[in-house]
Amino acid sequence: MIKLSFFNLFRRKTRTALSISGIAIGVAAIIILVSLVDGFTQDFDDVIGQFKAIMVLEKDAQDQTLSKLKTSFGPKFETIPNVKAAIPEIWVMPQKIDGSPVVLDSLAVVTIYGLDTDKFFSSGIKGWIGDIKKGKTIDSSDTKGAVIGQKIVDDYQKFVGSTIKIDGEKFRVHGIFNSESDFVSGMIVVNLEDARDLSSLAPGYVHSYSIFLDDTTKDTQVANILKLKYSEDITVFTQEDMAQQMEDIIGNLKLMAIAVALISSVVAGIGIMNTILMSVLERFKEIGALKAVGWTDNNVMRMIMYEAFFLGVFGGILGIFLGFGVDIFLFSIAGVKYQITPLLVITSFSFAISLGLIAGLYPAYMASKLSPIEALRS
């Protein structure tokens, strides 16, 4: 019976191929979307794990570039117990690098990150920037000096000692920092005042502060003091707060992936049902003959369900390979990271088989209820 069901699929090769393709697209959609979301999550977790500080923005600001804080806040923040350093920051999204418009082609957005380099690099603290792997750091005397991430090195063919033009201003590359995460590999680190020249920010203001602690386990305590003292002026984010925000975003992205998968499954399910139903209609006499020689309703139903099962298996296998292929392609051309886990593969394959079996129920039931006499007369 299993062998018969298997070869029945090849009677109408084109129709079978279209049904398998429908399942494959649904499975591939699940794998691609979920693996990209998981890769995005892992990348962000790596960054948050590295950034052991409290981030302070203007009250109700949506992100750093829309925030505006007075530089007078810095000394005040440093009077709070357990605060090691309050680093002022200016963030700029450049329009052109080396005369060419900046194009977003991955998570590694090109960003100008201005900060008090004297205080940051001399204190040995770790923030968004990784260790310097080539060249050296910069200080306030290095006017128009820069430290860059790997994304900038790769995309603009830069090296220690080369120049990089940012919105018409030339900077000298002094160092290259480690940047395993896409979120930070596109950063160009410069002195605070150099970043101010590239921005529209007035003197006496910065976009944000990174507050580093002597004891990182007391971040919630320090955050509560900041909120209590300056609640009317600032918004405070601990590592836990940033992680929670990202969890909310990830949750929405996964809901979108589920919605796409459900739409794909409906389309694929209709295709499978149509394929098997047409096969049943074309085999009226054959099914009637089988029932006439002793096949029971259960035997006929099992034969049709085996056909649906094989469609699900073939579609699932093809979809898994298709999903892998698209992920690899996106990574190769845009550096988009992905994470395909065994659980994701098993879940996607199970989904394909379940989809095939559900779509095959009605045609199988209809075939099982055929009257052998009427089928042989037709």
CA distance 56 to 70: 12
Whether 336 contacts 104, CB under 8 Å: no
Give the DSSP H/E element, type plus range, for residue 376. Answer: helix 372-377
pTM, whole model, 2 decimals?
A: 0.70
Going by pLDDT thresholds of 50, 70 and 90, the confidence category of residue 325 is very high
Give the DSSP H/E element, type plus range, for residue 165. Answer: strand 163-166
DSSP one-letter string for 268-336 = HHHHHHHHHHHHHHHTHHHHHHHHHTT--HHHHHHHHHHHHHHHHHHHHHHHHHHHHHHHHHHHHHH--
172-206 tens-digit pLDDT? 999 999 876 777 888 999 999 999 999 989 899 99
Vertex 219 angle, CA 209 and 82, to 5°? 80
Q: How many CA atoms lie within 13 A of 38 on its CB side?
A: 14
CA distance 347 to 356: 14
Alpha carbon of 209 to those of 23, 58, 117, 118: distances in Å?
Answer: 50, 10, 13, 15
Look over the chain and give the mean of its residue pLDDT values, rounded to a whole number: 84
Going by pLDDT thresholds of 50, 70 and 90, the confidence category of residue 324 is very high
Whether 52 contacts 238, CB under 8 Å: no
